[in-house]
């Protein structure tokens, strides 16, 4: 892997940009066997492969992706990053991810446009304020940076917000995580792919896994649209299709796949200095470096794999947004799209071994898995390599739905992303 740096940029600029090589190798066909196969070339799958190669020396591995890498939720999300979850188990994994995000651009030698611009979670009534303050305290005990802002401090931190007491759901305060923010989703996907490929990982696109091959309850390989591959370890990181894949080995999961939509406005000059989200009126907004306001809300209620949702969800969130940020009313929206998110009943992920030896599942991240990408890949690689979960991954087994040891973040940690 040739490193990217200012010197190369200048040299290529002077020599007709002819010396760049593809960021990652694209082998024409998968090899007949690998030490491990990662299914799914989203952020989590690529991160898993990268850490398997880098930290566990497993370089004879492949990432198998049915479309293009990043064509799933990795390329469709709104990149909000934070770690201010209520419970210890969640704080551990999301904060682990946040720590890794901080050095990731440098580590991957790829500009992931990480911006720690701060994330506000608004409170609109006394009950919500009390709950958010409790979360701030819990966060602090877990070493997560968190503070409570009074209304004047909210206005100072986020000047375009409407603090009028006369609006339907007035803002009475907010939590702030200063280390939260956004980054560039494609850059993360490409950066992980390039770094993994540089370590020897094969990235096979346009290849779908259609069957998990097992013998006596143990994985022996996968069948794909481009032939069979022998492998003793299959790491399944397919987000929307988590249940579909689990079904191939007869495993039932508590996951449901819902549409989740987002939209962007036409680009404008910098107006929005932070990420601002409201649980109660269900909308959030940030501004990309291109100037587009990036807007989203919650899932569509029904299950669907179509990667598109319904208009009423958009109408709802735009009405809320207009009241919180009146200046948006005259902006045009440029694009709207949907992804399919794999939701667990306790709004926490599954990072787990399964009853089938050699078949590992990482999924159920729902509406908020982007922020966890490096942490998820890091602990999942560890699980796949050692066949034992480490302390961060251990609470997220499938068994928790039987034992009852749920990590119930649904009400606790601000549903939205």
Partner 1 sequence: MFVIKCPNCGERDLSEFSYGGEAHISRPEWRDEMSDTEWAEFVFMRTNPKGVFAERWNHAAGCRRWFNMLRNTATDDILAVYGMGEEPPEVTANLPATPSGEAAIGSGNDEAKVIDAGDAADGGGGA
Ligand X SMILES: Cc1cc2nc3c(=O)[nH]c(=O)nc-3n(C[C@H](O)[C@H](O)[C@H](O)COP(=O)(O)OP(=O)(O)OC[C@H]3O[C@@H](n4cnc5c(N)ncnc54)[C@H](O)[C@@H]3O)c2cc1C
Distance CA 84, CA 180 (A): 9
Tell whether residue 65 is a contact of ligand X (CB under 6 A): yes
- For the CB of residue 318, give the shortest distance to ligand X in the complex, in Å: 15
Residue from 170, 254, 267, 326 binding partner 1 (CB under 8 A): 254
Q: What separation, in Å, do the N-terminal and C-terminal C-alpha atoms of the chain show?
A: 34
- List beta partners, residue 214: 219
Tell whether residue 250 is a contact of partner 1 (CB under 8 A): no
Distance CA 382, CA 351 (A): 11
> What are the residue ranges of helices labelled H in 325-395?
373-386
Q: Which residue has 């309850």 as its token pair?
A: 217
Distance CA 42, CA 377 (A): 11
- For the CB of residue 67, give the shortest distance to partner 1 in the complex, in Å: 3
Q: Which residue has 């490929």 as its token pair?
A: 197
Q: How many CB atoms lie within 10 A of CB 183?
A: 21
Q: Which residue is nearest to ligand X (CB)?
A: 42
Distance CA 152, CA 158 (A): 10
Tell whether residue 96 is a contact of ligand X (CB under 6 A): no
Distance CA 187, CA 26 (A): 18
The 8-class DSSP code of residue 213 comes to E
- For the CB of residue 63, give the shortest distance to ligand X in the complex, in Å: 9
Say if CB 249 and CB 375 are below 8 A apart: no
Residue from 21, 312, 330, 391 binding partner 1 (CB under 8 A): 312
- For the CB of residue 351, give the shortest distance to partner 1 in the complex, in Å: 17
Helix (H, G, I), strand (E, B) or coil at 36: strand
Residue 70 token pair: 């990043």
Which residue from 327, 268, 270, 321 is spatially nearest to 296, judged by alpha carbons? Answer: 321
- List beta partners, residue 37: 62, 234
Tell whether residue 22 is a contact of partner 1 (CB under 8 A): no
Tell whether residue 63 is a contact of ligand X (CB under 6 A): no
Radius of gyration of the chain (CA): 21
Say if CB 163 and CB 101 are below 8 A apart: no
- For the CB of residue 241, give the shortest distance to partner 1 in the complex, in Å: 5
- For the CB of residue 127, give the shortest distance to ligand X in the complex, in Å: 25
Draw the binding track, 112-131, toward ligand X (x: CB under 6 A; -: no contact).
--------------------
Helix (H, G, I), strand (E, B) or coil at 39: strand
Tell whether residue 235 is a contact of ligand X (CB under 6 A): no
Draw the binding track, 327-366, toward partner 1 (x: CB under 8 A; -: no contact).
----------xx------x---------------------
Tell whether residue 255 is a contact of partner 1 (CB under 8 A): yes
Tell whether residue 71 is a contact of ligand X (CB under 6 A): yes
Which does residue 38 bind out of partner 1, ligand X, none, counting CB within 5 to 8 angstroms by kind? none
* Chain residues 43-72 in contact with partner 1, contact rule CB under 8 A: 66-68, 71
* Chain residues 122-161 in contact with partner 1, contact rule CB under 8 A: none
Tell whether residue 220 is a contact of partner 1 (CB under 8 A): no
Beta-strand relationship, 234-236 and 36-39: parallel
Residue from 9, 10, 164, 303 binding partner 1 (CB under 8 A): 303
* Chain residues 346-405 in contact with ligand X, contact rule CB under 6 A: 365, 367-371
Q: Which residues form the interface with partner 1 (CB under 8 A)?
A: 66-68, 71, 206, 208-210, 225, 238, 241, 243-245, 247-248, 252-257, 301-312, 337-338, 345, 401-404
Q: Which residues form the interface with ligand X (CB under 6 A)?
A: 39-45, 64-67, 71-74, 76-80, 208-209, 237-241, 260-262, 296, 339, 341, 365, 367-371, 417
């Amino acid at each position: 892997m040739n490193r990217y740096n200012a010197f190369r940029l200048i040299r290529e600029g002077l020599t007709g940009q002819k010396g760049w090589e593809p960021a990652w190798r694209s082998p024409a066909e998968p090899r007949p066997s690998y030490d491990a196969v990662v299914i799914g070339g989203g952020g989590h799958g690529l991160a898993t492969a990268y850490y398997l190669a880098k930290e566990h020396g497993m370089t004879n591995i492949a990432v198998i992706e049915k479309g293009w890498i990043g064509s799933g939720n990795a390329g469709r999300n709104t990149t909000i990053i934070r770690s201010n979850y209520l419970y210890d188990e969640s704080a551990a994994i999301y904060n682990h991810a946040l720590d890794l995000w901080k050095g990731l651009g440098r580590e991957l030698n790829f500009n992931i446009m990480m911006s720690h611009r701060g994330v506000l979670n608004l409170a609109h009534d006394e009950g919500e304020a009390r709950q958010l303050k409790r979360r701030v305290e819990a966060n602090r005990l877990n070493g997560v940076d968190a503070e409570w802002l009074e209304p004047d401090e909210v206005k100072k931190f986020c000047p375009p917000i409407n603090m009028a007491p006369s609006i339907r759901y007035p803002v009475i305060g907010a939590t702030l995580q200063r280390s939260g923010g956004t980054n560039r989703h494609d850059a993360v996907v490409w950066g992980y792919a390039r770094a993994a490929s540089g370590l020897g990982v094969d990235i096979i696109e346009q290849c779908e896994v259609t069957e998990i091959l097992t013998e006596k309850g143990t994985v022996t390989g996968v069948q794909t649209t481009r032939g069979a591959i022998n492998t003793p370890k299959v790491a399944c990181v397919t987000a929307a299709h988590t249940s579909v894949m689990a079904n191939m080995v007869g495993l039932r999961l508590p996951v449901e796949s819902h549409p989740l939509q987002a939209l962007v406005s036409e680009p404008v000059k910098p107006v929005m200095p932070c990420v601002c989200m409201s649980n109660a009126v269900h909308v959030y907004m940030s501004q990309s470096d291109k100037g587009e306001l990036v807007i989203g809300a919650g899932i569509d209620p029904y299950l669907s794999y179509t990667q598109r949702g319904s208009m009423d969800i958009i109408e709802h969130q735009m009405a809320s947004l207009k009241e919180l940020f009146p200046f948006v009313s005259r902006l045009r929206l440029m694009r709207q799209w949907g992804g399919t998110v794999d939701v667990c009943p306790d709004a926490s992920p599954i990072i787990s071994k399964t009853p089938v030896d050699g078949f590992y599942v990482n999924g159920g991240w729902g509406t908020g898995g982007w922020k966890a990408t490096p942490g998820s890949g890091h602990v999942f690689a560890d699980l796949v390599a050692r066949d034992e979960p480490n302390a961060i991954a251990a609470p997220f087994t499938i068994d928790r739905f039987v034992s009852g040891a749920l990590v119930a973040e649904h009400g606790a940690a601000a549903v939205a992303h």
